[in-house]
C-alpha cells in the first residue's frame, strides 16, 4: 500500500480547500469501501481528507415535515434514533439491517449514498422517499442523483453534507440479503405521501431504479395484492454467483409485497 497524507479539517471551508488544493486527495467518511479498496491496491490516493470533525455534517432533526440527517451520521445512530423511529421508521429498520455491528458503527449515510453501490440499502430509501441530497455546493433531487453503477451526479470534489427526507404518511423496506455480507440481493422500498406512491429497488441491477407499474397499482389500492401479479423483466438485471437475473426479477415482486405490508403497519 502506497503511503498517503492525512488531513482532518474542522470546517467545510477547510475541507473544500484541501480537496481542491491537494492533487489526488479523496474524502474519508466511514471508510467502509474506501479503506479496503486502498488496502487491496485498487486505489492509491495522495491524501485522505477525514470528514469526522466537521460539525455541520452531523445531526438528526425534523422540521416542517422534513427529516434532515447529516451526512456523517452513522448507520447505528439512524437505527437507534427515537425521532427517526417515530417519523420515518423504515429508515431506522433499514439502517439496523446494514452489514454487521462493526460496519454500522463506522459507516455513514452520506458515504453510502455517495458511493452508490448497486447493492446498498440507502439508495432505495433516498429514491422512494423522494429525498434531496444536500452538498457543499447545491441541492440535488433523488431522481437526478443516481446515475448507475457507482455513479452519481456529484461533481469532482463535491461533498454530501446532509440528506433531507420528506416524512411519508406510510413507508416500508424489505430486502432479501446475502447471508454473508447482508448486502441486498434485492431490496425494495415503498413510500406513500399525499396519495402518491414511489417504489424503488436496489440490488437487482446496476443501480437503483423505480417501478412505475407498481406505483400506479398501489395508488389505486395500497395492498400487497395490488402488485402480486406485476412481473419485472429480467432483461437489465444482474446475474452473479449469488442469484441470476430471473431469480432477482422474481424477488422484486416478493420484496415489494413485503415492503407494502411493512408500510401498512406504519399507518
Query: Mean per-residue pLDDT for 203-216?
Result: 98
3-state secondary structure the chain: CCCCEEECCCCHHHHHHHHHHCCCEEEECCCCCHHHHHHCCCCCCCEEEECCCCHHHCCEEEECCEEEEECCCEHHHHHHCHHHHHHCHHHHHHHHCCCCHHHHHHCEHHHHHHHCCCCCCHHHHHHHCCCEEEECCCEEEHHHHEEECCEECCCCCCCEEEEEEECCCEEEEEEEECCCCCCEEEEEEEEEECCEEEEEEECCCCCCEECHHHHHHHHHCCCHHHHCCCCCCCCCCCCCCCCCHHHHHHHHHHHHHHHHHHHHCCC
Residue 261 pLDDT > 70: yes
42-75 pLDDT, tens per residue?
999 999 999 999 999 999 999 999 999 999 999 9
Identify the band that residue 220 occupies on the pLDDT scale cut at 50, 70 and 90: very high
- Which CA distances in Å does 1 have to 14, 97, 197? 27, 32, 47
What mean pLDDT, rounded, does the chain reach? 96
Instruction: Tell me how many degrees the CA angle 67-72-76 measures, rounded to the nearest 5.
Output: 75
Domains and CATH numbers, the chain: 5-50 (3.30.43.10), 58-264 (3.30.465.10)
Q: Residue 87 has what pLDDT?
A: 97
Instruction: Tell me how many degrees the CA angle 126-127-129 measures, rounded to the nearest 5.
Output: 70
Percent of the chain at pLDDT > 70 equals: 100
Q: Residue 18 has what pLDDT?
A: 95
Q: Residue 180 has what pLDDT?
A: 85
Query: Mean per-residue pLDDT for 165-172?
Result: 98
Measure the N-to-C terminal CA separation of the chain; round to a whole number of Å: 51
9-21 pLDDT, tens per residue?
999 999 999 999 9
Q: Residue 126 has what pLDDT?
A: 98
Identify the band that residue 1 occupies on the pLDDT scale cut at 50, 70 and 90: low
Query: Mean per-residue pLDDT for 91-120?
Result: 97
Query: Mean per-residue pLDDT for 153-168?
Result: 97
Other beta carbons less than 10 A from residue 232's beta carbon: 23
Residue 245 pLDDT > 70: yes
- Please give the Cα distance from 122 to 98 (Å, whole number): 9
Question: What sign does the CA torsion over 114, 7, 75, 137 have?
Answer: negative
Amino acid at each position: 500500500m502506497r503511503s498517503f497524507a492525512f488531513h482532518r479539517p474542522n470546517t467545510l471551508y477547510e475541507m473544500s480547500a484541501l480537496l481542491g488544493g491537494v492533487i489526488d486527495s479523496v474524502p474519508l467518511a466511514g471508510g467502509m469501501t474506501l479503506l479496503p479498496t486502498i488496502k487491496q491496491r485498487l486505489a492509491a490516493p495522495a491524501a485522505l481528507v477525514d470528514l469526522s470533525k466537521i460539525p455541520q455534517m452531523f445531526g438528526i432533526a425534523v422540521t416542517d415535515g422534513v427529516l434532515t440527517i447529516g451526512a456523517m451520521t452513522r448507520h447505528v445512530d439512524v437505527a437507534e434514533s427515537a425521532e427517526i423511529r417515530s417519523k420515518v421508521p423504515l429508515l431506522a429498520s433499514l439502517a439496523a439491517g446494514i452489514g454487521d455491528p462493526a460496519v454500522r458503527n463506522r459507516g455513514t449515510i452520506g458515504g453510502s449514498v455517495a458511493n452508490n453501490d448497486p447493492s446498498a440499502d440507502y439508495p432505495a430509501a433516498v429514491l422512494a422517499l423522494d429525498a434531496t441530497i444536500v452538498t457543499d455546493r447545491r441541492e440535488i433531487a433523488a431522481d437526478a442523483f443516481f446515475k448507475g453503477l457507482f455513479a452519481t451526479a456529484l461533481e469532482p470534489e463535491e461533498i454530501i453534507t446532509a440528506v433531507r427526507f420528506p416524512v411519508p404518511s406510510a413507508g416500508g423496506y424489505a430486502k432479501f440479503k446475502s447471508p454473508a455480507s447482508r448486502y441486498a440481493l434485492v431490496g425494495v422500498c415503498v413510500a406513500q405521501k399525499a396519495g402518491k406512491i414511489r417504489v424503488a429497488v436496489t440490488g437487482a441491477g446496476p443501480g437503483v431504479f423505480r417501478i412505475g407499474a407498481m406505483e400506479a397499482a398501489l395508488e389505486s389500492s395500497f395492498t400487497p395484492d395490488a402488485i402480486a401479479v406485476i412481473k419485472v423483466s429480467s432483461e437489465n438485471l444482474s446475474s452473479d454467483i449469488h442469484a441470476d437475473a430471473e431469480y432477482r426479477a422474481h424477488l422484486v415482486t416478493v420484496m415489494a409485497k413485503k415492503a407494502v405490508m411493512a408500510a401498512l403497519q406504519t399507518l
